Amino acid sequence: MKVGLYAGLVLLLVPFQATLLHSLSPFGIRPDLCLVAACVVGFWAGHFEGLVVGLLLGFGQDLFSAGELWLNMVTKAGVGFSAGLMAKHLISTTPRAIFVPMVLFSIFSGVVFLVSSRVGMGIQEVLQGFPRILLPQALFDGLVAVCANWLRARWGPQALNL
């Protein structure tokens, strides 16, 4: 069941992110669903599964985005892994508890992408990416992660005893 769920996630999330989500992006900013998924999986299922799912989602995303072929893969795998490690030390694991870690992971990932996508440009142009893309996306990612976490707690495999 769980393998099927993860396979579905890997097969559907990247196409969804690149097609249907484009029509649902306020101010042209879309949440990075693959990053959210890697974080949520790591948060709930542990660092190893977070890493594996993040790795596959990131690679899929790399194949359908303009950047380097390994950047998403490494970032998402790292976030999934770190989320798993972080969850071990959290006292509260309510759906809302994921908001702050998700925002931090998104900012970290955003900085990596901001720097790599603005190579050779002036510092002014790099800094413009913070208010325009990085921070709105981080908040967006945090909100989506809270929703995903709530859904997972309510309807996830464990809640349904699968």
The answer to the question of residue 160 lying near another protein (CB under 8 A) is: no
160 backbone dihedrals φ, ψ, rounded to 5°:
-95, 5
Q: Cα 72–78–82 angle (5° rounding)?
A: 145
Query: C-beta of 97: minimal distance to another protein in Å?
Result: 10
The answer to the question of residue 137 lying near another protein (CB under 8 A) is: yes
Query: C-beta of 152: minimal distance to another protein in Å?
Result: 10
For another protein, the closer CB: 46 or 104? 46
For another protein, the closer CB: 13 or 147? 13
The answer to the question of residue 14 lying near another protein (CB under 8 A) is: yes
Query: What does the block give as tokens for 93?
Result: 């694991």
Q: Is 58 helix (H, G, I), strand (E, B) or coil?
A: helix
Residue 60 contacts residue 16 (beta carbons within 8 Å): no
Distance CA 21, CA 24 (A): 5
For another protein, the closer CB: 97 or 104? 97
State which of positions 103-132 bind another protein (CB under 8 A).
Answer: 113-114, 117-118, 121, 125-126, 128-129, 132
The answer to the question of residue 94 lying near another protein (CB under 8 A) is: no
Distance CA 159, CA 162 (A): 8
State which of positions 31-90 bind another protein (CB under 8 A).
Answer: 32, 34, 43-46, 48-49, 51-52, 55, 59-70, 72, 74, 77, 87
Alpha-carbon separation of residue 54 from 40, 47, 58 (angstroms): 10, 10, 6
Residue 17 contacts residue 33 (beta carbons within 8 Å): yes
Distance CA 98, CA 21 (A): 22
Residues that bind another protein (CB under 8 A): 2-3, 6, 11-12, 14-20, 22-23, 28-30, 32, 34, 43-46, 48-49, 51-52, 55, 59-70, 72, 74, 77, 87, 93, 113-114, 117-118, 121, 125-126, 128-129, 132-133, 137, 157-158
